[in-house]
Amino acid sequence: MSFGMGSSWRKIAITLKTPSKRVMACSEQLGVIIAVMHRKLSHFHVRNLVVLFPVLLLLSGCNRNEIHIGDSVMADVTTDASAAIGSKLSGKLYLSNGWLRVDWGEFADVFDLTKRTGWRVTASSKTYRDLADKDLSTYAPQVTNGSICPYAQVPSACKLVGKEKVNGRVVNKWDIWNPRGFHVYFWTDETLPITVRCDIGETRYEAKNLRKATFSDALFELPTGYQRVDRSHIP
């Protein structure tokens, strides 16, 4: 059966229909490629189109896994905190519905991004302590009108360096002067309210391999039976 605008083509067109604007854009790009192929191949079979459909999506630059604001996201996180605690840490980041959890294994930091408060839970001792905005600043600095500078210790010594691509994400790079005599650099995600990379002196924090994920809201809840302790009990 030759490629044409008959019933088989209409079935494929119906299959491509979706409420998603993002996928509609992909379908439109795919249509351009199909049109070119139609002009060049007089005996192109519809069944070949079905087989080539995934390849054509890649060629058209479509990405159905693109992360958008509001998506639930997971990432791998690392920090070289050897100067502070004598070791490097690695863990997982979870972001969903205005909540952020950074799980380092022995302990996890959980934040309400709207209130900018949270807690650190330690499973081994079944304890938790309260966290404040300053504990969140590395993971997700506060932003006003697209800028983190109003919340710097010296706002006048904070500047946007420009846009870059770090760990596969488009980010804004910030240069912040610390009164103690060194620069702090932030690379904040352009879409999500999180830090992709932060260099504080010799310590680096990074979030890599960001991807959409599904997980339970229980990750952001304070476990029952945990005892509250003061800040001197920080792990």
Same domain, 23 and 119: no
pLDDT digits (tens, 9 = 90+) for 118-134: 999 999 999 999 999 99
Q: Which residues touch 168 (CB under 8 Å, ≥6 apart)?
A: 208, 209, 210
Name the residue range of residue 23's domain. 7-59
- What is the amino acid identity at position 21? K
Q: Is residue 68 part of a domain?
A: no
- Residue 65 in domain: no
Residue 67: inside a domain, yes or no?
A: no
Is residue 13 scored above 60 in pLDDT? no
Q: Give the pairing of strands 227-228 and 203-212.
A: unpaired
Question: Are both 53 and 82 inside the same structural domain?
Answer: no
Q: For residue 68, what are the contacts with CB-CB under 8 A and spacing of at least 6?
A: 22, 191
Domains identified in the chain, total number: 2
Q: Are residues 79 and 55 in the same domain?
A: no
**Structure-model confidence comparison of residues 38 and 108, the more confident one:** 108
The per-residue pLDDT for 35 is: 53
Identify whether 2 is part of a domain: no
Classify residue 150 by burial, with Cβ atoms within 10 Å: 0-12, 13-18, 19+.
exposed
User: What is the per-residue pLDDT across 42-87, written as a single tens digit (0 to 9) for each?
Assistant: 454 545 544 444 544 444 444 556 888 889 999 999 998 654 555 7
Average pLDDT score, the chain: 80
Distance CA 63, CA 82 (A): 38
40 and 153 share one domain: no
Are both 51 and 87 inside the same structural domain?
A: no
In terms of Cβ atoms closer than 10 Å to its own Cβ (0-12, 13-18, 19+), residue 40 is exposed
Report the first-to-last Cα separation within the chain, whole angstroms.
69
183 plus 89 within the same structural domain: yes
Q: Does the residue 114 lie in any domain?
A: yes
Same domain membership, residue 137 and residue 34: no
For residue 64, tell me if it sits in a domain: no
Q: At residue 10, does pLDDT exceed 50? A: no
Q: What is the pTM of this model?
A: 0.72
